[in-house]
Amino acid sequence: MLAVYLIISAVLVGLDQWVKYLTVTNIQLGETKEFIPGFMSFTNLRNTGAAWSLLEGKMWFFYIVTVIVVAVVLYILVKNINGSKWFTVGLSLVLAGAVGNFIDRIRLGYVVDMFQTEFISFPIFNVADSVLVIGVICIFIYLILDEKAAKDGKNGAN
């Protein structure tokens, strides 16, 4: 079963890298192309930090944190493979998001971002960012369901 979750992660990393490739080959750096009017556009942006350019230029920090996160997530996935689906899927998505952006940082020295929301002021993001956030949400759902199950006297969230 572990292989299924690792394949999910690998497919999402591939999707992230493919969308980034399409972005840099079809949109000039800094250029914006409307995608869904009033909702979302594509902007080719280089980001050397995190969201809102936090810790901009601190690549070694991101290298170290990513290696630690990937190691911990893989360890937990192996140890907890028969646990909650919410937790396992969440970990797989976090893994994919971390690896997707890590590839950019190692290969390019920055992360390619492209999705820009037009209905709310939000940092420009990419597939890896989205997958990572969804993974964290899945883990929170697991924690909420597990806490509720513990209060109800059940074995946990599945």
* 113 tagged catalytic: yes
Q: Confirm if 105 and 66 have CB atoms less than 8 A apart.
A: yes
Candidate list 16, 129, 146, 152, residue with the active-site label: 129
- Select which of 16, 113, 146, 152 is catalytic: 113
Interatomic CA distance for residues 135 and 29, integer angstroms? 29
Inter-residue contact 17 to 9 (CB < 8 Å): no
**Closest Cα to residue 30, out of 44, 51, 49?**
44
Indicate if 129 belongs to the active site. yes
Q: Would you call 137 helix, strand, or coil by DSSP?
A: helix
Q: Which residues are catalytic?
A: 113, 129
